[in-house]
Amino acid sequence: MTTEVAIVTDSTAYLPDAVVEQHGIVVVPLKVVLRGRPLDEGTEATPTGLAEALRQKRVVTTSRPSPETFAETYRRVAEGGAREIVSVHLSAELSGTYEAALLAARESPVPVRVVDSRTLAMAMGFPVLTAAEAAADGASAEDAATAAEKRAGATSGFFYVDTLEYLRRGGRIGAAAALMGAALAVKPLLHVSDGRVAPLEKVRTAARAISRLEEIALEAAGEGRVDIAVHHLDSPDRAEALAGRLRERLPRLGELHVSEVGAVIGAHAGPGLLAVVVSPK
């Protein structure tokens, strides 16, 4: 699909490949560093390989795309016919990706509107889709970016992790919170608040935590029409079961996507991650 306004995002949106292709969205990969080798998320670095590396206690780090990578992407998109670009990215509180895109935008041959989604995964992916749909309908870059920002602000992401240790290692949550969770043997529920990962509730068992995650998602959905995404890392059965229950319990459900997170988010959350994104239409 070709429009005068092109939509760029990064690999942590975890949009389904078919959706990316359908809407002509350009995805810039973040990097996962494993055994000293930087690998592109989604192609070279896979969720399966990451989960195995984490279980073997290998050191896994992540890094943003370089400004040069974004600059080359913007040039290529402009050469393809775009007159404006909307570039929607992972929260600036969690990654330097947004900053790299801003730096590259200064050198772009066409205007680029860079959006800090203040979130991640499909909580960013749904706003990216909103921008793409607006652009396809003839919206300007400014209007498409505003639509993405509005939807991102209305979207919520909640997640369960088996342990806070991976978030602690990556500096995404404080050491004190991680140690308290381990000492009390609790299963943490978290959310994204003001662009950061923050504790939400503490539950005693995994089963209760997942049940509570479902209830929180239903409360967030309310009676309105919503799109839902269920993410996981190395827990496909739990994800499908949760998605099935949400499908039955949400009478005004729009789209429902079930997907495994990529290596970048997975490196910070660890195997066993289960997440729900609730995005009002």
Model confidence pLDDT, tens digit, residues 221-230: 999 999 999 9
> What is the Cα–Cα distance from 98 to 79, expressed in whole angstroms?
23
Which pair of structure tokens corresponds to residue 24? 């002509």
One CATH from 3.40.50.720, 3.40.50.360, 3.30.1180.10, 3.30.930.10 for 156-280: 3.30.1180.10
| Angle, helix 206-221 to helix 236-249, in steps of 10 degrees | 40
**pLDDT for 174-207, tens place per residue?**
544 444 444 446 788 999 999 998 889 888 888 9
Q: To 5 degrees, how large is the angle CA 118–CA 120–CA 124? A: 80
Select from 234, 240, 226 the least CA-distant residue to 54: 234
Q: Are 249 and 124 in contact (CB under 8 A)?
A: no
Kindly report the backbone phi and psi dihedral angles of residue 121, in degrees, each rounded to the nearest multiple of 5, phi listed first: 55, -150
**pLDDT for 12-36, tens place per residue?**
999 999 999 999 999 999 998 887 8
Helix (H, G, I), strand (E, B) or coil at 92: coil
Select from 237, 251, 244, 242 the least CA-distant residue to 275: 242
Q: Where are the domains of the chain?
A: 5-30+65-153, 156-280
Select from 34, 10, 192, 167 the least CA-distant residue to 97: 10
Q: Are 240 and 186 in contact (CB under 8 A)?
A: no
One CATH from 3.40.640.10, 3.40.50.300, 3.40.50.10170, 3.40.50.720 for 5-30+65-153: 3.40.50.10170
Average pLDDT, the chain: 90
